Amino acid sequence: MPRLSTSILRHARHQHPLLPLLLRACHDLDSARNELRWLRKHALKTGDSKSSAPTWQQRFHRLCLERAKGVPLQYILGTQPFGDLEILCKPGVLIPRPETESITTYLASLISSAFTLKLSQRAKGIDESQWVADQKPLRILDLCTGTGCIPLLMHAILSPRIQNLRIAGADISPTSVSLANENLKHNIKGGSLQEKANEQLSFYHADVFSDDHCAGRANHTVWDILVSNPPYISPSAFNKTTSRSVRNYEPKEALVPPQNLLETGEESIRSTDTGDTFYPRLLHIAQQVHAKVLLMEVADIAQATRVVELVLGTRRWEACQIWRDWSGARKEKRKRKRKRKREVILINGSITRVMGEGNGRAVLVWRDGGGKMLGLSERCR
């Protein structure tokens, strides 16, 4: 990071004595001002009536010092907004990212829109409430669930429209599973999730690489949609490209694939060097649980291209798309502008559509009616 100029530090100190501390972590004044406001509010809110407790000013100063060391703001405040939800955050569990929120929201919007269209096309004379009740449950499984943010947001968006839902999240970390369950209770209590989420949502411990748990087969369950934000950063990229805050405070195992897979052969060595280790396994699990739709988060467009190559190599999927950070952005722009040419890339002779704006963020694949489930019909060509 470039050194902060003396003039910027002087300007910050003139605005507030603690603002220069936050500049070490934020790098710009606007972000530092916002964090100063949030930390002050948090210091005031977390007061204690005991006379021996620190004053709010002392707590405020301590919080700013923690942030200056690079402690993530979400760990200090204890929460992170995710859609309309408030996700509890704590050390040892990866902090939810805005990009993950974007692709989760977009996936849920596709499912909801397709369901609404199907509902509007139902046969005449059938009572809507009876039609909804007769529908088979929509089953969604999230692997490497972390805080549980993806299943929770999916339920928040889908449950008002789709009454029969079964959503689960699995993680190898007991700390993550415990926090995901806390987040379920927290958002029900706060009114962001309906009470029925208690019955329709669940979280459990599972190792994606263990056949004993085989993520979702523990109860011999078939899942319609499989979602995953797995560890996908290579060891070298972790050391070179991640921020000091991420390297020092967030769990590396949630970001970098396990290194013990290096012993399983040349393919695993290549996959680990590129951060691709989880993707062949996710495709295998999707086959085992008969998933019709699979959405996998990736680091960039290069990794997305490699994942599409894996998908095409299986010859088991009808179609695939690459989603950028803001997957629905291009669709929204078309409401205001003339339709622009579709973005596509050629991968191993197959045309793959690229959706949205920003960096490459996810690969979506579907088969066996999964396209209809999302309101999509294109095929790999």
What pLDDT shows up at residue 194? 95
Provide the residue type at 204 as one letter.
Y
Residue 152's pLDDT band, with cuts at 50, 70 and 90, is very high
Per-residue pLDDT for 324 more than 50? Answer: yes
Cβ-contact 114, 375 below 8 angstroms: yes
Q: What is the pLDDT of residues 265-299, one digit of tens each?
A: 445 555 557 899 999 999 999 999 999 999 999 99
Cβ-contact 274, 234 below 8 angstroms: yes
What pLDDT shows up at residue 122? 60
What pLDDT shows up at residue 2? 57
How far apart, in Å, are the Cα atoms of 195 and each of 140, 188, 199, 265, 364?
A: 18, 6, 8, 48, 30
Q: Return the residue matching tokens 């008002």.
A: 160
If asked whether residues 129 and 60 sit together in one domain, one would say no
Domain range spanning residue 172? 98-374
If asked whether residues 244 and 115 sit together in one domain, one would say yes
- Which candidate, 279, 155, 165, places its Cα nearest to that of 223? 165
Residue 236 is assigned to a structural domain of this protein: yes
What pLDDT shows up at residue 342? 81
- Which candidate, 27, 29, 30, places its Cα nearest to that of 4? 27
Cβ-contact 278, 228 below 8 angstroms: yes
If asked whether residues 206 and 150 sit together in one domain, one would say yes
Per-residue pLDDT for 335 more than 60? Answer: no
Mean local confidence (pLDDT), 121-128: 57
What pLDDT shows up at residue 125? 55
If asked whether residues 249 and 351 sit together in one domain, one would say yes
Residue 92 is assigned to a structural domain of this protein: no
Mean local confidence (pLDDT), 215-239: 83
If asked whether residues 123 and 65 sit together in one domain, one would say no
Number of helices (H) and strands (E) in the chain: give both, helices first: 17, 11
φ, ψ of residue 255 in degrees (nearest 5): -115, -35
If asked whether residues 215 and 351 sit together in one domain, one would say yes
Residue 218's pLDDT band, with cuts at 50, 70 and 90, is very low
Residue 82 is assigned to a structural domain of this protein: no
- Both tokens assigned to 292: 């019709």
User: To the nearest whole number, what is the mean pLDDT of the chain?
Assistant: 87
Residue 1 is assigned to a structural domain of this protein: no
- Report the 3 state secondary structure along 13-78: HHHCCCHHHHHHHHCCHHHHHHHHHHHHHHHHHCCCCCCCCCCHHHHHHHHHHHHHCCCCHHHHHC
Q: What is the pLDDT of residues 30-82, one digit of tens each?
A: 999 999 999 999 999 886 655 556 899 999 999 999 999 999 999 999 999 99
* CATH number, residue 132: 3.40.50.150
Residue 371's pLDDT band, with cuts at 50, 70 and 90, is very high
Q: What is the pLDDT of residues 170-210, one digit of tens each?
A: 999 999 999 999 999 999 999 999 999 999 999 999 999 98
Cβ-contact 367, 225 below 8 angstroms: no
Where is pLDDT greater, at 330 or 62? 62
Q: Return the residue matching tokens 């396990």.
A: 258
Query: What stretch of H or E contains 294?
Result: strand 293-297
If asked whether residues 348 and 234 sit together in one domain, one would say yes
If asked whether residues 233 and 368 sit together in one domain, one would say yes
The pLDDT > 90 percentage for the chain reads: 69
Structural domain count, the chain: 2
Mean local confidence (pLDDT), 147-155: 98
Residue 198 is assigned to a structural domain of this protein: yes
Mean local confidence (pLDDT), 334-345: 66
What pLDDT shows up at residue 26? 87
If asked whether residues 109 and 245 sit together in one domain, one would say yes
φ, ψ of residue 128 in degrees (nearest 5): -60, -45
If asked whether residues 60 and 170 sit together in one domain, one would say no
Q: Return the residue matching tokens 């899942």.
A: 223
Cβ-contact 370, 290 below 8 angstroms: no
What pLDDT shows up at residue 331? 52
Per-residue pLDDT for 242 more than 80? Answer: yes
User: How far apart, in Å, do the first and last CA atoms of the chain sit?
Assistant: 44
Long-range contacts of 56-65 (CB under 8 A, 24+ apart): 60/18, 61/18, 63/39, 64/18, 64/21, 64/22, 64/36, 64/39, 65/21
CA distance 53 to 44: 13
Residue 103, number of CB atoms within 10 A of its CB: 26
Half-sphere exposure of 60 (CA within 13 A, CB side): 17
Long-range contacts of 209-217 (CB under 8 A, 24+ apart): 209/258, 209/261, 209/281, 213/170, 214/285, 214/288, 215/141, 215/143, 215/170, 215/285, 215/289, 216/141, 216/143, 216/168, 216/170, 216/285, 216/288, 216/289, 217/288, 217/289
Residue 84 is assigned to a structural domain of this protein: no
If asked whether residues 133 and 255 sit together in one domain, one would say yes
Residue 330's pLDDT band, with cuts at 50, 70 and 90, is very low
Residue 272 is assigned to a structural domain of this protein: yes
What pLDDT shows up at residue 302? 96
pTM of the shown model: 0.89
Mean local confidence (pLDDT), 243-252: 94
Residue 349 is assigned to a structural domain of this protein: yes
Which residues lie closer than 8 Å to 233 by C-beta, 6 or more apart?
241, 242, 255, 256, 275, 299
DSSP 131-186: HHHHSPPEEEEEES-TTSHHHHHHHHHHTTT--SEEEEEEES-HHHHHHHHHHHHH
Cβ-contact 144, 297 below 8 angstroms: no
If asked whether residues 242 and 326 sit together in one domain, one would say yes
Mean local confidence (pLDDT), 86-91: 98
Q: Which of 41-55, 109-123, 188-202, 313-327 has the lowest mean pLDDT?
A: 41-55
